A and B are shown apart, each in its own frame.
Chain A
Amino acid sequence: MTVTDDRPTYKWVGTRPIRHDGYEKVTGKARFAADLDLPGQLHAAYLRSPHGHARILSIDTAAAAGMPGVKAVVTGADFPDLDPTDPNFDVSVNVMARGTVLYNGHALAAVAASTRAEAAAAVAAIQVEYELLPVILTLEESMADGAPLVNEHNITKFVESDGPSNLATSNVVERGDVEAAFAAADLVVEREFDTAYVHQGYIEPHACVVDVGPNGKADIWASSQGHFMVRALTASVLGWETSRIKVTPAEIGGGFGGKTTIYLEPVAARLSEKSGRPVKLVLTREEVLRATGPAPASKSRIKIAASNDGELTAIDCWFGYVVGCTNDFAGLVGAMSVASYKFPNLKLEAIGALTNTPKSAAYRAPSAPQAAFAIESVIDEIAQTLDMDPIDIRLRNAVVEGDPTAMGMPHPRIGFVECLEALRDSDHYRSPVPDGAARGIGAGFWFNIGEQSSATVNLNEDGTATVITGSPDIGGSRASMALMAAEELGIDVYSITPVVADTESVGFTDVTEGSRATFSTGMAVVNACRDLIEELRARAATILGVDLDAVTWVDGTAVTDGKDPLPLSAITAKAKSTGGPLTVTASLNAGGAGPSFAVHCCDLTVDEETGQVTILRYTAVQDAGTAIHPSYVEGQLQGGTVQGIGWALNEEYIFDDAGSMENASFLDYRIPVASDLPMIDTIVVEVPNPAHPYGVRGVGETGIVPPMATVANAITRATSIRMTSLPMSPPKILAALDTD
């Protein structure tokens, strides 16, 4: 179902063609990074720290180097030490420990051998002497007076600092007079919340193949959300010039933010350089969970003031994010989720605290889900206390265009009210709550980002087009590029071949994150097509013998008065005689990414004797601006929702006292399975983003923001207990019921 807000009618945009890369993916032919093998290739394996925090006194690799099949061994000594002020310092240290291991699972050596088994055997033969250091695992331990340092190189960002500390960042945002508003309020609700570390949970482990040739140039095939990012970070960690590296994007088996950074490529490159052979490096699932990007755990305190008629007059909130062992976490803006509501008086404080746990990484709308869980829970409690409908209280306070964001800048045209109204009018919300079940509502948004993209569009002799971009396709973006190009050029979407090209075959493009691919890269494609149409008109004018001004481009044909329309294929057929190949490149640094709002609704039951939650019905409403390929927009909503349901109910990192992850497998890190879920109904709202030629807002991130509160609010209405700790696993729900 789609709600359209005066959206223009398009021929291709908004249709649902079969995605261009689909055939390879249903026949097993699509090439993911681990599917590639090169002649003479070696296999690599890591030695990882068994300790949560320790000084490396010595590493003896001599025995390992002499083992059967072993061709190269690397340790931290094989990588240059970046200056701690270097923006890539933390990535470098995480790729390979120098001097100190900062978490259990931290890589400190790697071996390349003829077979995986030989590499693993050699890893086991590396001798390391450690001096154990204190292990800090929680926010309280990290922030305690006199706490031992997690990472001696950490300098706090954004505030004055007198040396290393465990504080990563600290931000405060204020407006109005919070104290006065609380004093005058009819109702004040204050709650504390906490959330666990969760993993992005992509099914494809990180993988790469690297071949460093005799000329010193590295060919890298890797699975990532941005191959230009891989090139830049790999060069930085190796101390190489960027031009020494070419990165070819493999198909990526899921990222969700977790593949916006690197782990493997410099290690494989150094092993390849030392051995003179191509090196393949593939993580195991256990390694993925122990040593790649969880999203931060968090604690929060939320205090909201309301009037008796449901106006939210003030918010005072504090968020503490547990960001792991390094300080390149930049996601605190996610705490700005409070800006879903007008809140004339606002105080928002957010800190990041370091711990001896894996370096955290981005995960869909980084840091917003933790905040929205807390805020949306308190708003629901206010609605319950005031006996207001949970949609009405949100409509009463929802931000609209011109209202300030948390940082003060006014919101552009947004669709929050439209989403709330769409849910209010939906079949789901108008249906009675099933017997024995309860219904919860939650909302949230994500800013989305623009950044740099490039696109090249080549017209082929037969009138077809190749659309080349540098954005790895993590959820169907190639189809979206083809649809926008088809709309612009006026040719069939299947006449377009969308390609994601390597770093030497397309212009620079930032990482696929922040829901930016269809927005920014799509805009580059549109710009290239529009330039191409200008060129097509000129060629048509030549062919038809008329002035350029007399030619207009209509539905894939050059039209001029008194002559038959000239289709695109007739122009490309005469490319040589009219000036040569028809090809255009466009690049941009896109601003104007439009925030995407969502409202979710969930019906569930709680087994009050076991604490088990069963989700009966779920609807996700979200503003897509314009849905270029509605099926994949729905898919983003559904996927984000189910990740959020996993975060809400069962997903968590469990560490022992020494910082070792106890549940580093898909058996015990419990992501939702098909039988856990009902269908996820979607309502795609379309309030076009004025800053995009087709009105696109990114849709990938927002879907994960509302589910935790949506589920928690339904649990409260089912049981009368307020769950304030994620995950809301059966033992925690039962314990809460028992103490109620």
Chain B
Amino acid sequence: MPRVHLMSDHRRFTGGEAVVEAGGATVGAVIAELEQRFPGLGDALTHGASAGVNGEIHSEPQYLEVDPDTDIYFVAPLTGG
């Protein structure tokens, strides 16, 4: 299952776990499963984070496809100057 790496700010939903596994073929599906297991986390990830997948950061990752061995890093939204 894809491994999800959480910012510290989101670990309050997982009882402190920094890395959790969740099934799904897309980042959106992974988030949906996390919401089921950790109510509130899905919403926080959807609205307050970007996702780093395969070395690329995506601000709207919902439909991004992931493999079972993918690492998903949720990070604070990135901006530029």
Interface of A with B (CB < 8 Å)?
157-160, 169-174, 200, 256-258, 260, 330-333, 362-366, 407-410, 412, 446-451, 513-516, 589, 591-593, 691, 700-701
Contact = CB atoms under 8 A, between A and B. Distances in A.
Given A158-B48, A409-B73, A691-B56, A172 B8 contact: yes
Nearest to A516: B80
A366 B12 contact: no
Contact of A451 (B52, B59, B81): B59
A364 B79 CA distance: 10
Contacts of A366: 79-81
Contacts of A450: 56-57
Interface string B1-32: 00001011100100000100000000000000
9 contacts: A157-B48, A333-B79, A409-B71, A450-B57, A513-B79, A513-B80, A514-B79, A514-B80, A701-B81
Contacts of A260: 79-81
B8 A171 contact: yes
B58 to A, nearest CB: 6
Contact of B76 (A160, A256, A333, A365): A333
B13 to A, nearest CB: 10
A171 B79 contact: no
Nearest to B75: A407
Given A407-B5, A450-B56, 17 more contacts: A160-B12, A171-B7, A174-B18, A257-B80, A257-B81, A260-B80, A330-B76, A331-B79, A333-B79, A363-B81, A407-B52, A408-B73, A409-B57, A448-B80, A513-B79, A513-B80, A514-B81
Interface in B65-81: 71, 73, 75-81
Contacts of A362: 79-81
A26 B25 CA distance: 55
A159 B49 CA distance: 12
A173 B77 contact: no
Given A172-B9, A407-B52, A409-B52, A449 B76 contact: no
Contacts of B8: 171-174
B78 A333 contact: yes
A410 B52 CA distance: 10
**B73, B77, B78 — which one has the most chain A CB atoms within 10 A of its CB?**
B78
A699 to B, nearest CB: 12
Contacts of A516: 80
A363 B81 CA distance: 5
A355 B54 CA distance: 38
A727 B71 CA distance: 41
Query: What 10 pairs between A and B have smallest CB-CB spacing?
Result: A514-B80, A257-B81, A591-B56, A172-B8, A513-B80, A409-B73, A409-B52, A362-B81, A364-B81, A407-B75
Interface of chain B, main secondary structure: mixed
A514 B56 contact: no
Given A172-B8, A333-B75, A591 B57 contact: yes
Contacts of A172: 7-9
Contacts of A365: 80-81
Contacts of A364: 81
Contacts of B18: 174
Given A158-B48, A366-B81, A450-B56, A171 B76 contact: yes
A301 B68 CA distance: 40
Nearest to A329: B79
Contacts of B9: 158-159, 170-172
Nearest to B73: A409
Interface string B32-76: 000000000000100010001001111100000000000101011
Nearest to A158: B9
Given A172-B8, A407-B7, A591-B58, A333 B77 contact: yes
A691 B58 CA distance: 14
Contact of B75 (A409, A448, A515): A409
A330 B77 CA distance: 6
Nearest to B59: A451
A393 to B, nearest CB: 28
B7 A173 contact: yes
Contacts of A513: 79-81
Contacts of A514: 78-81
Contact of B80 (A410, A412, A515): A515
A330 B47 CA distance: 13
B62 to A, nearest CB: 12
A157 B71 CA distance: 25
B55 A158 contact: no
A412 B55 contact: yes
B81 A409 contact: no
Contacts of A593: 56-57
A331 B73 CA distance: 18
B50 to A, nearest CB: 9
A257 B80 CA distance: 7
B51 to A, nearest CB: 9
Contacts of B76: 158, 169, 171, 330, 332-333, 407
A704 B44 CA distance: 32
A410 B5 contact: no
Contacts of A174: 8, 18
B30 to A, nearest CB: 16
Contact of A408 (B5, B44, B79): B5
A43 B66 CA distance: 54
A121 to B, nearest CB: 37
A554 B73 CA distance: 42
Contacts of A446: 80
Contacts of B75: 333, 407, 409
A159 B9 CA distance: 6
A603 B7 CA distance: 40
Contacts of A258: 81
A342 B3 CA distance: 22
Contacts of B48: 157-158
Contacts of B80: 257, 260, 362, 365-366, 446, 448-449, 513-516, 701
**B18, B58, B79 — which one has the most chain A CB atoms within 10 A of its CB?**
B79
Contacts of A592: 55-56
Contacts of A407: 5, 7, 52, 73, 75-76
A736 B73 CA distance: 43
Given A158-B48, A170-B9, A173-B7, A410 B79 contact: no
A362 B78 CA distance: 11
